[in-house]
Chains A and B, each alone.
Chain A
Amino acid sequence: MSVRVEGLTKIYGEQKAIDKLSFQVEKGQILGFLGPNGAGKSTTMKILTGYLPPTEGSVEIGGFDVQANPKEIRRLIGYLPENNPLYGDLYIKEYLHFVAGFYPIKNSSARVSEVIDLIGLTPEKHKKIGALSKGYKQRVGLAQAIIHDPQVLILDEPTTGLDPNQLVEIRSLIKALGKEKTLIFSTHIMQEVTALCDRVLIIKDGKMQANDTLQNLQSTFQGEWVTTVTFQGPFTLEHFKKIKDVQRIRQIHPDVIQVITAPGIDVRPLIFKQAVKDDNIIIGMQQDRRSVEEIFQKLTGSDIQ
């Protein structure tokens, strides 16, 4: 089921929260919505769910206009709002039964147990929501969003405030969900985008800065490829500078150099041959494209006004 957004604009008073956003996501795709805090990510997501009306533009989910068909849209989507609001005084099962009650689910008890299993809430399933750790609360938030097996999932910052282990678990959960659904999630953590997304949408001050696949973004914005080489023992820097296609070399540590080339040029074999020739020992070599962090900073940072 596809999500199409056309010329979406939202104005609060005098302030343009989002400005003419257009994008499209298809089934089986994960769209990462990346932007600094206050860029308009949550506003956009609230409009996608129909909770907020747009000032201009339209959202179409599975052929339904969000504003014209609120009932259909609400059945189709699963939404995890910003800050994951929950009722702390309800038990997990009680809460999920409550949420399931909104949808025409045939056997809601079975579905609740199934989702509890799927999301990995089983060890905590008899607790009150208020007594759960942040990671488990986040899982409850995800559980309520998928209880009716929606075609489209909209997750607003699903991983904020999680510790590294929880982060890995929730990410793999999102990745698994994204295989069968149309999934849109927002984050301000760039690694998350690299880990999860097929497409990236970067916004800043409500304006679209980029809307592309991760690979395309990287190849558009990378001015250069960087090969980091770690030596054991002495080496002759000058010999490496003479390798064909090497633009320049940075020495970032007595034993570590970064060899910079134009994009698409792999100099690793040549570096290796040169090292062998000089009888230097290479203990590590890694080639990187420009990272998403750098692209993100370039697109949203103040240095690119």
Chain B
Amino acid sequence: MWVIYKKELTTFFNNLTGYLVLGVFLTVMGLFLFVFPETSLLESNFASLEPFFEMAPSLFLFLVPAITMRLLAEERQLGTLALLLTKPIDEMGLVIGKFLAAVSLLFLALVPTLFYYITLYFLGSPVGNLDTGAIMGSYLGLLLLGSAFASIGMLASSLTESQIVAFVLAVTGCFLFFYGFYFLSGLPVFFGKWDALVQQFGMDYHYHALSKGAPDTRDLIYFLSVIAIFLLITRFVLQYRIRS
């Protein structure tokens, strides 16, 4: 598993995907948070990172599938999947190794954003007037959300040999899981009776719950289950679809 992890991580930075993802994420975030007046942290009267955590999911919606689209689709296209799966590694090790590499890249993308936190910390009046708990919760939520997107991306990538198809499938899947249940809950069938329940299936519900700063184990369990389920389906796809 670590063999795969190491290789994927090096590959990210060998073929520029890694730098591109980090660059795009930080540039776009930087533009919105410090340059564009409407969303700028500096123009706001509150020392809050909320705009960052509001925008990050939409960016992740495209960036995460861009990271994961290659991971399995390329192995299928090159035929190297047959090579890997005849080495002493099982499908789950392969899937988890690649998944963790993608998550690590996301983690790396988030680390520099601590700079925003530090900036705000000193901008606050008085200095340090900031809801650190909520921010840590939001970071946790963002990382879990990114990981859940990555698990959807892994499944999409295992379904096809084409990276473009994998990308589109993953964006659609992530979108549905993030916003889909919220919209679904507005349908007349659910509205008024089941809408609260339906919303709880969506990732946005749990993401926002986490960002309130009091991590609830239910939200953690939700994200971890989603990740586990998608990774297991991915393994299933590798085992049965490709081999028979």
Contact = CB atoms under 8 A, between A and B. Distances in A.
Do A and B associate with each other? yes
Interface of A: 12, 46, 49-53, 70-71, 74-75, 77, 79, 81-83, 85-87, 89, 98-99, 101-103, 144
B243 interface: yes
A85 B78 CA distance: 6
Nearest to B77: A85
Contacts of A49: 86
A75 B78 CA distance: 23
Contact of A70 (B14, B90, B244): B90
Instruction: Please provide the 10 A-B residue pairs with the shortest distance between their CB atoms, ordered closest to farther.
Output: A85-B79, A101-B3, A102-B87, A74-B88, A81-B82, A85-B80, A49-B86, A79-B86, A85-B78, A98-B7
Interface residues of B, number: 19
Contact of A51 (B11, B90, B243): B243
B243 to A, nearest CB: 6
Interface in B1-35: 3, 6-7, 11, 14-15
Contacts of B86: 49-51, 74, 77, 79, 81
Nearest to A84: B79
Interface in B60-94: 78-80, 82-83, 85-90
A89 B12 CA distance: 12
A99 B87 contact: yes
Interface of B: 3, 6-7, 11, 14-15, 78-80, 82-83, 85-90, 243-244
Contacts of A82: 79, 82
A101 B6 contact: yes
B14 A89 contact: yes
A82 B78 CA distance: 11
A70 B86 CA distance: 9
A284 to B, nearest CB: 47
A52 B88 contact: no
A246 B101 CA distance: 74
A85 B83 contact: yes
B79 A51 contact: no
Nearest to B243: A52
Contact of A102 (B3, B11, B15, B80): B3
B88 A86 contact: no
Given A51-B243, A53-B243, A87 B78 contact: yes
A53 B242 CA distance: 11
A34 to B, nearest CB: 22
Q: Which of A49, A82, A101 counts the most chain B CB atoms within 10 A?
A: A101
A98 B83 contact: no
Given A52-B243, A53-B243, A101-B3, A87 B80 contact: yes
A79 B82 CA distance: 9
Given A51-B86, A85-B82, 9 more contacts: A51-B82, A53-B243, A74-B88, A81-B79, A82-B79, A82-B82, A87-B78, A87-B80, A89-B15
Nearest to B88: A74
Contact of B244 (A53, A75, A86, A102): A53
A79 B88 CA distance: 12
A70 B239 CA distance: 13
A87 B83 CA distance: 11
A102 B83 contact: no
Given A53-B244, A70-B90, A46 B78 contact: no
B78 A86 contact: yes
Contacts of A98: 3, 7
